[in-house]
Chain A
Amino acid sequence: MRVTNRMMFEVAQRQTAAARDRSIDAQNQVATGVRVAHPGDDPTAAGVMVTQNVAIQRLDTIDKSIAQASSEVQVADGALQGVSTLIARAQQLAVQLGSDNYSAAERASGAQEIADISAQIGRLMNTQVAGRYIFGGNVDNTPPFDATGNYLGDTVVRQVEIAPGLLGNASVRGDQAVKGVGVTGGVDVFAVLSSLSTGLAANDGATVRASIDGLNQGTNQISAALTNAGTMLSAFENAQQIGSVAKEAAQKSLSNASEADIFEATSNLVQAQQSLESALAVTAKTFGLSLLDYLK
């Protein structure tokens, strides 16, 4: 091919420009660590980045939601443990004072303690977390139990999303635990305690003894509620572990899609720089050769 001056200059211009362009690209990748900034850089990877960015954001929020729900259920569990302890004390008093060996005065004293226990159970069942009553179902802005133990909440079990698209229970029904609503053979613990207290005040041994079965059932109800809470906590823990794995996978996928492999990027940079140096050297050499330098 006939080589002309304009051809030499234009080819040199194109080659050095292309080499410099590749060098700048490689330099940007090494400096920023980002491989895909524009969808056109890698359309498939850009699509993956969209889904994984949203997925990571969502998994983060779900993790926080689970942590908060778990905290609430742990508070509920603590409250129910307290109720259980109080009912056990009531059972102990019922068994003890049900014996006719005790005097009316001793039973009257027991009646007062039972009334206190009932009030304490009422307070425990009106436990709040962050200003919300946790045993009232969806009615969380007013106390679910009044002074006489009437239930004012609803029968809804609150749910939260524990994995994308998967809901998990996040509250214990107070009416079920202490009022026996929906429980086969369920009892109203407040009513049983009231009857026990009345029996003790009236020095009525038969009534006192009759309350023992009710308290046993109350204990069973609280145990069931505690088991329920334990199951929820376990489900939360599992969900958090699974979410953590899912988030790690999403981050890895995002990283694979968007980030430059530092070794590959560095290697590309060295290659591009060498290519640029070669292009410049060849250009300088080519331009240096001219018949003008030899004609005298």
Chain B
Amino acid sequence: MADLFALLVQSGNSLAAHTAVVTAAGNNIANANTPGYSRQIPTLVANPATEALGLAAVGTGVSLQGITQARDQFVERQLPNALGAQAFSQSQSDALAALHALDPDLQGGLTSTLGAFYSALQTWSQNPGDSALRQGVVGSAQALATSFQQTSSAVESARTGLDAAIAGKLNEVNIAAQKVADLNGQILIARTAGGQPNDLIDARQIAVDELATLTGGIPYDSGQGNVSIALPGGTALVSDTRAAVLSVAADATNDGHSKLRITRADGSGPVDWTGPPFGGTVGGLMGARDGALKTASSSVDQLAFDLGTAINTVHQAGFAMDGSPGLALFSLPVTSTGAASQIAVNATVAANPRLLAAATTVPAGSGDNRNVLALIATQRQALASGADPVATLQSITTTFGSSTAQAKALAEHDGAIANHLTTLRDAASGVSIDEEMINLTKAQRAYQAVSKVIEVSNSLLETLMNMR
């Protein structure tokens, strides 16, 4: 049989339940802007009737069943891929857009110095014996060689800069991976103790998102509530409570640029990474370094080598003012590798412009310009690569530009997808202050009503006690 004391106890429990609702709403409001926070939902359940009053079962109030998190598993499963893809294309786009050495209007760039070199030859052809014009040709050849060196250096600096960026990002990966592994352990302990460690789960989700953004690693449920992370190809970056460690080492087969190494989650290694390319920021940086930038670097090397060789061949077929056979105008390495960084004007010719070979025969005078005309003609002759020097430079510029534009377009596309999914996740897991204010008011009203019940119960008890 229900009694008034039981009603007081029941009301007290109800107040506690509504206080929990207020607390949850307050916590949600406080974390409305906390990254990774998922709103918490207190679940109230009616206590079962324990006693019957006649035929009717009378309930025993309300209690807090638990506090759960609002999560959309469908969206959250898609998000790591989207974050990885966005980070991959964005980092690649940023890396390529930062290189200005191939800008078509760059002062002192390859376009202007190549044009200036041929213009100097053209002017020289008017008066091949003129020492000032000869000096002008030497100067323009030096400017062209310097431009090749600077372009090569800018591209290589960009690639080296990306090595440093990759190493920095791998540190972040290692920290986040260890964090996920540690949180797996803490969450397991909390759950074993019967708790629901929502804040730890949020913290793990932030670290998981970070790993997806950095590496394209995909999270999966590995049992017991643990989240493990698989790198491209399936190798575990995080396996339950253990994390792999990523590092870099110089790769002799890639001009000394860094290669990835991994100490696996089981502690074996480190070994060279032989799996598929990474996604995420690390993958994007490596893609830019070994893709468009490497192509640009080797193409500029090839152009420097082919152009230098073509000029040298013609120049060596001519004769200098002193009747000696023409020397190589440009010093070049044996192969195209590193040609752009090593090309220079032959020091002997630079020191004595009279050694420039303008004549096609041992000159009786200084007016023979036929070898100069042959040098000028190289501008329209196909190099070993199949196109003339200007068309080759045009191709290098267009190819690099296409890679940059493609990366930018992909970044916009992937960014739109990631933003959309992030918005969907926020819609499910984010906090609406309006909503929480309503919940707060609702709980407040319930609290006030229960207080009234206590007041009534108290009044009834008082009536009962005062009976004479």
Contacts and interface: CB of A to CB of B under 8 A. Distances in A.
Given A3-B427, A4-B431, A5-B32, A65 B397 contact: no
B369 A158 contact: yes
30 contacts: A2-B432, A6-B426, A7-B427, A7-B430, A14-B419, A38-B100, A39-B104, A39-B400, A40-B404, A40-B405, A43-B397, A44-B398, A47-B395, A47-B401, A49-B104, A50-B104, A50-B397, A58-B115, A132-B127, A136-B365, A138-B364, A138-B365, A138-B366, A139-B367, A140-B365, A160-B126, A160-B373, A165-B377, A290-B433, A292-B437
Nearest to A257: B104
Given A37-B103, A61-B122, A159-B370, 4 more contacts: A38-B103, A40-B403, A156-B370, A161-B125
B394 A51 contact: yes
Interface string A274-296: 00000000000000001110010
Contacts of A154: 364-365
Contact of B431 (A5, A49, A60): A5
B367 A136 contact: yes
Contact of A4 (B112, B366, B427): B427
Chain A contact residues (Cβ within 8 angstroms of B): what range? 35 or more
A68 interface: yes
Contacts of A2: 427-428, 432
A6 B431 CA distance: 7
Contacts of A54: 111, 114-115, 118, 390
A240 to B, nearest CB: 14
B78 interface: no
Interface of A: 1-7, 9-11, 14, 34, 36-44, 46-51, 53-55, 57-58, 60-62, 64-65, 68-69, 130, 132, 136-142, 153-154, 156, 158-161, 164-165, 167, 258, 290-292, 295
B430 A4 contact: yes
Contacts of A49: 104-105, 111, 397
A291 B118 contact: no
Interface in B20-54: 32-33, 39
Interface in B354-369: 359, 363-369
Interface string B369-392: 110010011011000000000110
Contacts of B397: 39, 43, 46-47, 49-50
Contacts of B126: 65, 68-69, 160
A281 to B, nearest CB: 21
A65 B369 CA distance: 13
Interface in B255-296: none
Contacts of A158: 367, 369
A62 B120 CA distance: 11
B133 to A, nearest CB: 11
Contacts of B122: 58, 61-62, 65, 161
A141 B129 contact: yes
A47 B365 contact: no
A51 B129 contact: no
Nearest to A1: B427
A10 B426 contact: yes
